[in-house]
């Protein structure tokens, strides 16, 4: 068994190094002068740590940082909440047409996001939510994928737990709040990580919705370094390194839940 593990590690280590090379190059490029970025030297000949403070000097990077984390955080919270309630209704409650409604709900996953972009934009215009935080948060607060992921996980929970809670006089909401949600923590954390990562790096929807500079997110704000006056690749790389720090921390903190949530969620359908 150990011999097999060593063979697996020998195979995976070169693959891991290959996948880390772009990240290592990004960090290296963020410490180079602009003239050296396109050189073949992997390490900088002149270490320029001033690229990082220069990012804050040229754009309101801290404000963009706050906007991205604030929007992604609210979308993550709302999406986990709405998906959990919908998943509970589709998995633990029995009502006429439940499976049919779920299949129709699941069919929305087949619709490309580009197709719904214009209807969502027109809806935001009607609701007067253009150029606002709500315009970025509300359309992303509901997820068919999140509902599917949590439903599959909740289907695997033993019914005896609910029956015991009902005997003790618990209401449906109390069962959902105090029994189902705590047991669904691995799936919820998995969904939270996927949702935060997806919305934190969202580019096209904020580009369409936001006009005010104070509401721009990081992906949109970093366009400043790629203008008609030339591309400041070293500053783009410095901003990108700072941009991915929250994602790396989030993934490292929740990686144990990702495997467990996806594995247990796919057992029963």
Alpha carbons 32 and 23: distance in angstroms, whole number: 15
| Superfamily of domain covering 60-265 | MetI-like (1.10.3720.10)
Alpha carbons 171 and 149: distance in angstroms, whole number: 25
Write the secondary structure of the chain as one string of H (helix), E (strand) and C (coil).
CHHHHHHHHHHHHHHHHHHHHHHHHHHHHCCCCHHHCCCCCCCCCCCCCCHHHHHHHHCCHHHHHHHHHHHHHHHHHHHHHHHHHHHHHHHCCCCCCHHHHHHHHHHHHHCCHHHHHHHHHHHHHHCCCCCCHHHHHHHHCCCHHHHHHHHHHHHCCCHHHHHHHHHCCCCHHHHHHHHHHHHCHHHHHHHHHHHHHHHHCCCHHHHHHCCCHHHCCHHHHHHHHEECCEECHHHHHHHHHHHHHHHHHHHHHHHHHHHHHHHHHCCCC
Query: Is residue 75 a contact partner of residue 137, using CB atoms and an 8 Å limit?
Result: yes
pLDDT value at 248 more than 60: yes
Check residue 268 and give its pLDDT.
47
CA dihedral over 114, 115, 121, 124, signed as positive or negative: negative
CA dihedral over 213, 217, 218, 221, signed as positive or negative: negative
For the chain, percent of residues with pLDDT exceeding 70: 91
Give φ, ψ of 227 to 5 degrees: -120, -175
Give domain limits for the chain. 60-265
Check residue 163 and give its pLDDT.
84
Q: Predicted confidence band at 269 (pLDDT cuts at 50, 70, 90)?
A: very low
- 25-50 pLDDT, tens per residue? 899 999 988 888 877 778 888 888 88
- 75-127 pLDDT, tens per residue? 999 999 999 999 999 988 888 888 899 999 888 888 888 888 889 999 999 99
With CA atoms as reference, report the closest residue to 143 among 97, 192, 204, 186: 192
Instruction: Tell me the pTM.
Output: 0.84
């Amino acid at each position: 068994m150990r011999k097999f593990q060593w063979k697996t590690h020998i195979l995976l280590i070169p693959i891991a190094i290959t996948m880390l090379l772009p990240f290592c190059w990004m960090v290296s490029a963020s410490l180079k002068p602009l003239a050296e970025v396109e050189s073949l030297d992997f390490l900088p000949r002149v270490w320029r740590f001033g690229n990082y403070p220069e990012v804050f000097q040229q754009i309101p990077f801290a404000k963009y940082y706050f906007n991205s984390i604030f929007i992604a955080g609210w979308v993550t919270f709302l999406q986990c909440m709405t998906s959990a309630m919908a998943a509970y209704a589709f998995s633990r409650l029995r009502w006429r047409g439940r499976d049919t409604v779920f299949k129709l709900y699941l069919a929305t996953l087949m619709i490309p996001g580009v197709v719904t972009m214009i209807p969502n934009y027109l809806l935001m215009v009607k609701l007067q939510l253009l150029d606002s935080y709500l315009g970025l948060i509300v359309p992303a607060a509901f997820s068919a994928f999140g509902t599917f992921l949590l439903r599959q996980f909740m289907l695997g929970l033993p019914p005896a737990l609910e029956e015991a809670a009902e005997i003790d006089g618990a209401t449906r909401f109390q069962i959902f709040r105090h029994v189902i949600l705590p047991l669904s923590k691995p799936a919820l954390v998995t969904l939270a990580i996927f949702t935060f990562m997806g919305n934190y790096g969202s580019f096209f929807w904020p580009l369409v919705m936001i006009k005010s500079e104070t509401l721009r997110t990081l992906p949109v704000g970093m366009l400043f370094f790629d203008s008609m006056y030339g591309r400041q690749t070293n500053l783009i790389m410095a901003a990108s390194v700072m941009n991915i720090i929250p994602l790396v921390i989030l993934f490292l903190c929740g990686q144990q839940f990702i495997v467990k949530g996806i594995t247990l969620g796919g057992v029963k359908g």
